[in-house]
C-alpha cells in the first residue's frame, strides 16, 4: 500500500474522532510525525469541523477582576486550542482603565470601555489574533437612560456562515437602550454598527410609547436564529426579554423590537438567564438552594387535554451532589454566583463562591454532568468563549 493511500485512510479515521473532546486530536498528533502532519494540515481542520457540523468548542471564558483591569481570557481545563493573545488595554484608554466584557460571540468579545467617562466607547476584541477595533457609542446613546446593552455577531450570520474563521471577517454590533417618553412612559431603541460601513444605523424604536424596562448590561445577549434576546430590568420580580430582529444587510427592521413578557414565574432572588431549547426560547434557573432548573414552552394539545404554557423540568440538577462540597464551611448562598449559557451548546457555566466550591463549573444540561473548568471566580460573571481557529496556510 502506498504511503499516500495510507495517509488517506488514516485521515478518514482521524476525521471521526469526537469533536467534544479536543484533547483526542492532540493525543493522536503525538503518535507519530505522519499523524501530526495530517492533523496540523489546514485542509484537515476544515474538513473535520464541517464533517461533524459541530459548534465551536468551548475554549474557556472571559472574566474581569475589578474596575482597574482589562477582561482576561481563562482557558478551560483540558483545552488545548487556547487563544495565544492576552487582553491588553484598548488603544487610547486612560491609565486606571475601567473596561469590562459585555458580550461574546463568533470568536469576538465586546468590551465596554469607560476609561474616559465623558467619552465611553465600545471595543471589539479578537483574543486569538489580539486585534481590536474601537467604535464610538451610537448617537442615540447620548440622550438615552444610563442602562443599555449591546451584542456582537458575525455580519455573515444570516447568509449561512459556518463560523469556522469568521472572526477575521466583518461584524455587527447591536446596541439597545431605553429613552424617556411622554409623562412616565419610556421606550426601547436599537441601532446597528457595521464594520463594513464603519457607521451606526439610525435608531429604531419600539412600536409604542410604553414602559418596557431597562436592558441589563451585566447580562450577555442570546442569539436564536435571526433574533437577539436581551434581558430587561423592570425593578420588580417580572422577567422580561427584549427581542430584536436583525435584517440582512446589517440593520434592524423598522419597529421590529418587541418585548416578551409571557415568561415563567420564578423566585425573584434566583439567577435566571434565557437559553435556547429546541430552537426556541427557554430559561435556566439557578436557585438559592443550589438547584438548576430549565424552563421550556409547551404547546397546548386540546385532543389530549394538555394546556400550553411554561413547564419546569422535573429532572433537577442538585449541585449539592454534583459538586464536591466543603462540608467544614457554614452554608450560605452567595448572590454573586452567576450562570451563563454557551450558545449553540447544551452547556451552562456556573461561577460560584460558596461552601460547595470555588471557581467556574460547566454543566451539560442533557447529561447533567458537571465538571470544573477553572479555579477562578468573578462577581461580574463570565462570558463563555467558543471559537474555531483554522488560519489559511
Higher-pLDDT residue of 243, 54: 243
Residue 352's beta-bridge partner residues?
359
Q: What is the mean pLDDT of the chain?
A: 77
Q: For residues 267 and 264, give the distance between their C-alpha atoms in angstroms, rounded to a whole number.
A: 10
C-alpha 81 chain-centroid distance: 18
pLDDT (tens digit per residue) in 150-187: 999 999 888 878 777 777 789 999 999 887 766 666 77
Rounded to two decimals, the pTM is 0.82
Lowest mean pLDDT among 53-57, 346-350, 359-363: 53-57
Q: Does the pLDDT of residue 249 top 80, yes or no?
A: no
Helix (H) or strand (E) holding 10: helix 3-14
- In this predicted model, what pLDDT tens digit does every residue of 79-99 receive, in sequence order? 555 555 444 545 555 544 677
Q: Which one has a higher pLDDT value, 335 or 16?
A: 16
- Burial (Cβ within 10 Å: 0-12, 13-18, ≥19) of residue 260: middle
Q: What is the pLDDT of residue 338?
A: 81
Residue 130: predicted pLDDT: 81
Distance CA 176, CA 178 (A): 7
Share of the chain above pLDDT 90, in %: 13
Contact 286, 271 (CB under 8 A): yes
User: Mean pLDDT, to the nearest integer, of 210-228?
Assistant: 80
Give the model's pLDDT for residue 327.
Answer: 46
| Span 195-217, average pLDDT | 76
**Distances, alpha carbon 284 to alpha carbons 250, 274, 314, 316, 386, in Å:** 30, 6, 13, 11, 20
pLDDT number for residue 276 = 92
Residue 105 confidence (pLDDT): 92
Residues 6+ apart with CB under 8 A from 133: 123, 124, 195
Mean pLDDT, residues 246-263? 66
pLDDT above 80 (res 112): yes
Average of per-residue pLDDT across 235-263:
70
Amino acid at each position: 500500500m502506498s504511503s499516500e493511500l495510507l495517509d488517506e485512510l488514516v485521515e478518514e479515521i482521524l476525521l471521526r474522532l469526537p469533536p467534544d473532546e479536543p484533547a483526542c486530536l492532540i493525543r493522536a498528533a503525538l503518535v507519530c510525525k505522519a499523524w501530526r502532519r495530517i492533523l496540523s494540515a489546514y485542509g484537515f481542520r476544515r474538513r473535520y469541523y464541517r464533517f461533524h457540523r459541530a459548534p465551536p468548542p468551548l475554549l474557556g471564558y472571559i472574566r474581569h477582576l475589578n474596575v482597574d483591569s482589562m477582561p482576561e481570557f481563562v482557558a478551560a481545563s483540558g483545552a488545548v486550542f487556547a487563544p495565544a493573545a492576552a487582553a491588553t488595554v484598548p488603544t487610547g484608554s486612560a491609565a486606571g482603565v475601567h473596561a469590562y466584557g459585555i458580550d461574546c460571540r463568533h470568536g469576538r468579545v465586546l468590551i465596554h470601555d469607560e476609561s474616559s467617562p465623558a467619552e465611553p466607547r465600545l471595543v471589539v476584541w479578537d483574543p486569538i489574533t489580539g486585534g481590536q477595533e474601537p467604535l464610538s457609542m451610537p448617537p442615540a446613546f447620548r440622550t438615552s437612560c444610563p442602562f443599555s446593552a449591546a451584542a456582537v455577531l458575525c455580519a455573515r450570520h444570516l447568509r449561512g456562515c459556518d463560523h469556522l474563521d469568521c472572526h477575521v471577517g466583518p461584524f455587527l454590533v447591536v446596541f439597545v437602550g431605553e429613552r424617556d417618553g411622554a409623562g412616565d412612559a419610556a421606550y426601547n431603541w436599537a441601532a446597528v454598527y457595521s464594520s463594513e460601513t464603519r457607521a451606526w444605523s439610525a435608531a429604531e424604536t419600539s412600536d409604542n410609547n410604553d414602559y418596557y424596562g431597562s436592558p441589563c448590561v451585566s447580562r450577555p445577549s442570546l442569539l436564536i436564529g435571526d433574533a437577539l434576546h436581551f434581558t430587561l430590568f423592570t425593578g420588580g420580580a417580572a422577567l422580561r426579554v427584549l427581542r430584536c430582529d436583525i435584517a440582512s444587510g446589517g440593520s434592524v427592521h423598522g419597529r421590529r423590537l418587541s418585548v416578551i413578557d409571557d415568561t415563567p414565574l420564578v423566585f425573584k432572588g434566583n439567577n435566571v438567564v434565557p437559553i435556547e431549547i429546541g430552537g426556541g426560547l427557554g430559561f435556566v434557573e439557578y436557585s438559592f438552594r443550589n438547584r438548576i432548573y430549565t424552563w421550556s414552552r409547551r404547546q397546548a394539545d386540546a385532543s389530549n387535554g394538555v394546556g400550553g404554557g411554561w413547564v419546569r423540568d422535573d429532572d433537577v440538577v442538585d449541585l449539592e451532589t454534583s459538586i464536591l462540597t466543603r462540608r467544614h464551611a457554614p452554608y450560605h448562598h452567595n448572590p454573586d454566583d452567576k450562570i451563563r449559557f454557551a450558545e449553540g451548546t447544551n452547556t451552562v457555566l456556573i461561577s460560584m463562591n460558596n461552601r460547595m466550591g470555588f471557581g467556574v463549573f460547566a454543566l451539560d444540561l442533557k447529561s447533567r454532568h458537571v465538571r470544573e473548568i477553572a479555579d477562578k471566580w468573578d462577581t461580574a460573571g463570565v462570558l463563555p468563549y467558543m471559537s474555531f481557529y483554522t488560519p489559511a496556510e
